[in-house]
């Protein structure tokens, strides 16, 4: 089969990753910080706090005359160092660092150096670096609002000190200290003059904005990594491909606040398009539901476009479109010819989509309908593009591991089947032949052991048939819509050859269009039905028929045996209520979303009828 040409957007998703745009991201994204991370962060800040205070103390001690510091400054710094040591000890022995504790510590980081800055305020003062440390600590803990708020608090304290100087409170304090024979404060008043303080305030505010901006970007990147890690963590082999896609789409619904998510995928060597849907409800996301396949699905969901990702918003009678190529660069030409057909199949007022590719086997698109986006649409579209690109390999690994497990299981089952065929089956056949020789010799003599030998021979034949049926069940069935009829014909012929029961397979259709999983289940249902006929019905004739009825594929098994221990015609729901009918077949029919009807007449035979909608799509990779 020729490989269909893929849309232009498909090769773009294989290009190298691009850097995410830096800017304010949606407030929905929160970077989770564990209590242990908070304690570790506070311990780092506590260590830096003590180091800076000691460095300032050493700087004053080494050159006290030129700076003109009062002896009181040593007391201030000593108390600040003691404060830092106490914080370090509390963090070491406390189990957690509460928000109130962190706020209190941060307030002290502002107040202590503000008091010490009365002795020297300018950028050349060692206390100025401690102010910068307070800004860095706010940025490290929180974001730009808290950092800029810290800068405002510092500037406010400095202006309050300037007002105190204007009111000559400093002179009054020096007079009080002189009266009691204590050293003067020796405040460095010129640095608190309004002209110099305006410049210093500008320095601090600009530094607060800069550090806050950088902190916000780091916070955003941390949040994006956390979201990508959380979504990638939903890829689990035990969930299967459908279960993994369901969880990932549910996460995307949560992150973007969308109402519905669609995934449309196509195998590169097939024309069939699989479309799955997850909806957001009041109690959470729904299960992944595979929609009925339509001939127009490829034009509806996988239409050709140069855009790797796009956002479409309905405006009056048209659409406003924002499109990105595979490198995250905005496209000038944003026409999407498939939007009309997409809106016809899935009505929306706002939709985003991005492409994905799984190795060389699968490719497709993910659609989010009615998402709640922030102000920067281009940034959020880029993040969705990068998110899907990062998660894609994890989903593809699930697909490969599931296939590997299936193949490994098939190889192991084939090995066991060969061992049974070459070992136990051959031995039982040899024993049955020896018993047959003894039975014939017994008939030519007194014949006393003939019935018993005949019974043993029958048991051996029964065990040989059971082992062969087990071997057949263990084989991996590589069945699809192209060879399912041949598999059924061979199964019926083999049944007749091994059991001696007359069996026929009749097909009124030349080709069936069903997923591979449905074809496998139909073959297993046929094999299970034939086993039941041999074991329980005592039938002499069996008919297996495949035909179409009301748009459905119908598989029928009829025999002329004893029938089931009930009389009449019952649907699958009625059989479930009564607890009657073939349990294994009922389960297999339920797995493929089909219908089962059983009709039985005592001593006249039975009829099993399985119907499967021909358009029913089963999930992949299970």
**Can you give the CATH number for the domain in which 280 is found?**
3.30.450.40
Query: How many whole angstroms separate alpha carbon 104 and alpha carbon 102?
Result: 5
* pLDDT at 604 (0 to 100): 86
For 241-274, what is each residue's pLDDT tens digit? 788 888 888 888 888 888 889 988 887 766 778 8
pLDDT at 78 over 60: yes
State whether 201 and 67 are in the same domain: yes
pLDDT at 619 over 60: no
* 608 vs 320, higher pLDDT: 608
Which of 180, 202, 230 finishes a domain? 230
Query: How many whole angstroms separate alpha carbon 135 and alpha carbon 154?
Result: 9
Residue 363 neighbours by CB under 8 Å, 6+ apart: 6, 10, 13, 265, 266, 268, 355, 356, 357
pLDDT at 93 over 60: yes
Q: pLDDT band for position 22 (50/70/90)? A: very low
State whether 372 and 270 are in the same domain: yes
Would you say residue 486 lies in a domain?
A: yes
Question: Residue 131: which domain range?
Answer: 35-230
State whether 361 and 486 are in the same domain: no
For 122-138, what is each residue's pLDDT tens digit? 455 666 777 888 888 88
Q: pLDDT band for position 282 (50/70/90)? A: low
State whether 141 and 79 are in the same domain: yes
State whether 217 and 269 are in the same domain: no
Q: pLDDT band for position 398 (50/70/90)? A: confident
* pLDDT at 23 (0 to 100): 37
* pLDDT at 13 (0 to 100): 35
| Highest-scoring range by mean pLDDT, 28-32, 140-144, 285-289, 401-405 | 140-144
State whether 61 and 171 are in the same domain: yes
DSSP state of 192: G
For the entire predicted model, the pTM comes to 0.57
* pLDDT at 61 (0 to 100): 73
Which of 378, 398, 418 finishes a domain? 398
Q: pLDDT band for position 505 (50/70/90)? A: very high
Q: How many other CB atoms are found less than 10 A from the CB of residue 432?
A: 17
Query: How many whole angstroms separate alpha carbon 216 and alpha carbon 146?
Result: 10
For 343-352, what is each residue's pLDDT tens digit? 888 888 889 9
How many structural domains is the chain composed of?
Answer: 3
Q: What is the mean pLDDT of residues 434-440?
A: 68
Would you say residue 458 lies in a domain?
A: no
State whether 226 and 307 are in the same domain: no
CATH number at residue 506: 3.30.565.10
Would you say residue 315 lies in a domain?
A: yes
Would you say residue 411 lies in a domain?
A: no
For 285-302, what is each residue's pLDDT tens digit? 678 888 877 778 888 888
Backbone angles phi, psi at 279, to 5 degrees: -115, 155
Beta bridge partners of 281: 284
Percent of residues, the chain, with pLDDT higher than 70: 74
* pLDDT at 12 (0 to 100): 36
* pLDDT at 476 (0 to 100): 55
* pLDDT at 249 (0 to 100): 87
8-22, 100-114, 202-216, 477-491 — which is least confidently predicted? 8-22
Would you say residue 427 lies in a domain?
A: no
State whether 49 and 189 are in the same domain: yes
- Strand 541-549 with 502-507, pairing: parallel
H or E element: which one contains 472? helix 450-474
* pLDDT at 276 (0 to 100): 87
State whether 78 and 191 are in the same domain: yes
Would you say residue 30 lies in a domain?
A: no
Query: How many whole angstroms separate alpha carbon 522 and alpha carbon 528?
Result: 10
Q: pLDDT band for position 462 (50/70/90)? A: low
Nearest Cα neighbor of 12 from 507, 463, 357, 299 is 357
SS3 294: coil
* pLDDT at 8 (0 to 100): 39
State whether 521 and 578 are in the same domain: yes
Contact 499, 465 (CB under 8 A): yes
Which two structure tokens, joined as six digits, stand for 444? 């030519």
Q: pLDDT band for position 2 (50/70/90)? A: very low
Nearest Cα neighbor of 485 from 546, 526, 528 is 546
* 335 vs 510, higher pLDDT: 510
Would you say residue 442 lies in a domain?
A: no
DSSP string, 324-335: E-TTSPBPS---
Residue 91 neighbours by CB under 8 Å, 6+ apart: 39, 42, 43, 46, 97
State whether 220 and 285 are in the same domain: no
Average pLDDT, the chain: 76
Which of 381, 398, 415 finishes a domain? 398
CA 505-515-486 angle, to 5 degrees, is: 25
Would you say residue 285 lies in a domain?
A: yes
Query: How many whole angstroms separate alpha carbon 410 and alpha carbon 196?
Result: 82
State whether 243 and 219 are in the same domain: no
CA distances from 213 to 23, 24, 174, 217 (A): 9, 9, 42, 6
């Amino acid at each position: 089969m020729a490989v269909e040409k893929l849309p232009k957007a498909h090769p773009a998703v294989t290009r190298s990753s691009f850097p995410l745009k830096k800017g304010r991201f949606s407030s929905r994204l929160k970077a989770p910080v564990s209590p242990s991370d908070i304690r570790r962060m506070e311990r780092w800040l506590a260590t830096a706090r003590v180091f800076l205070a000691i460095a300032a103390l050493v700087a004053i001690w080494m050159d006290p005359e030129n700076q003109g510091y009062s002896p009181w400054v040593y007391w201030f710094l000593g108390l600040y160092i003691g404060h830092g040591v106490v914080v370090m000890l509390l963090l070491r022995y406390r189990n957690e660092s509460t928000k109130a504790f962190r706020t209190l510590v941060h307030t002290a980081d502002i107040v202590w150096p503000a008091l010490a800055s009365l002795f020297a305020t300018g950028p050349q003062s060692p206390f100025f670096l401690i102010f910068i440390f307070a800004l860095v600590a706010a940025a490290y803990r929180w974001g730009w609002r808290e950092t800029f708020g810290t800068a405002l608090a510092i500037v406010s304290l400095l202006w309050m000190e300037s007002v105190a100087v204007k009111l000559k409170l400093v002179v009054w304090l020096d007079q009080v200290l002189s009266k009691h024979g204590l050293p003067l404060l020796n405040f460095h008043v010129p640095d608190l003059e309004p002209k110099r303080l305006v410049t210093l305030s500008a320095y601090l505010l600009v530094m607060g904005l800069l550090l806050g901006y950088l902190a916000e970007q780091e916070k955003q990147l941390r949040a994006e990594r956390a979201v990508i890690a959380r979504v990638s963590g939903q890829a689990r082999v035990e969930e299967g491909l459908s279960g993994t896609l369901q969880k990932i789409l549910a996460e995307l619904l949560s992150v973007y606040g969308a109402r519905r998510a669609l995934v449309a995928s196509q195998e590169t060597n097939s024309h069939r398009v699989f479309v799955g849907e997850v909806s957001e409800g009041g109690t959470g996301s729904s299960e992944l539901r595979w929609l009925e396949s339509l001939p127009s699905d490829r034009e509806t969901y996988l239409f050709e476009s140069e855009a790797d990702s796009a956002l479409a918003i309905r405006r009056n009678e048209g659409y406003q479109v924002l499109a990105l190529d595979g490198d995250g660069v905005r496209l000038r030409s944003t026409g999407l010819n498939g939007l009309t057909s997409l809106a016809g199949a899935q009505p929306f007022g706002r939709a985003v989509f991005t492409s994905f590719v799984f190795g060389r086997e699968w490719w497709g698109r993910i659609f989010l309908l009615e998402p709640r986006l922030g102000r920067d649409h281009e940034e959020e579209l880029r993040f969705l593009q990068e998110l899907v690109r990062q998660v894609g390999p994890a989903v593809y690994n699930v697909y490969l591991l599931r296939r590997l497990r299936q193949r490994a299981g098939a190889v192991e089952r084939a090995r066991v089947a060969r061992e049974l065929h070459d070992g136990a089956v051959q031995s039982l056949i040899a024993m049955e032949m020896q018993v047959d020789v003894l039975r014939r010799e017994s008939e030519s003599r007194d014949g006393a052991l003939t019935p018993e030998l005949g019974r043993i021979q029958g048991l051996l034949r029964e065990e040989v048939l059971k082992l062969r049926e087990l071997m057949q069940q263990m084989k991996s069935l590589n069945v699809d819509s192209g060879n399912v009829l041949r598999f059924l014909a061979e199964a019926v012929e083999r049944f007749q050859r091994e059991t001696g029961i007359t069996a026929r397979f009749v097909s009124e259709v030349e080709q069936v269009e069903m997923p591979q999983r449905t074809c496998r289940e139909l073959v297993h249902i046929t094999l299970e039905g034939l086993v039941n006929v041999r074991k329980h019905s005592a039938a002499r004739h069996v008919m297996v028929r495949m035909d179409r009825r009301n748009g459905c594929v119908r598989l029928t098994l009829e025999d002329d045996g004893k029938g089931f221990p009930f009389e009449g015609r019952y649907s699958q729901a009625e059989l479930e209520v009564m607890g009657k009918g073939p349990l294994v077949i009922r389960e297999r029919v339920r797995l493929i979303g089909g219908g089962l009807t059983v009709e039985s007449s005592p001593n006249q035979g039975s009829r099993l009828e399985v119907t499967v909608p021909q358009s029913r799509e089963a999930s992949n990779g299970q």
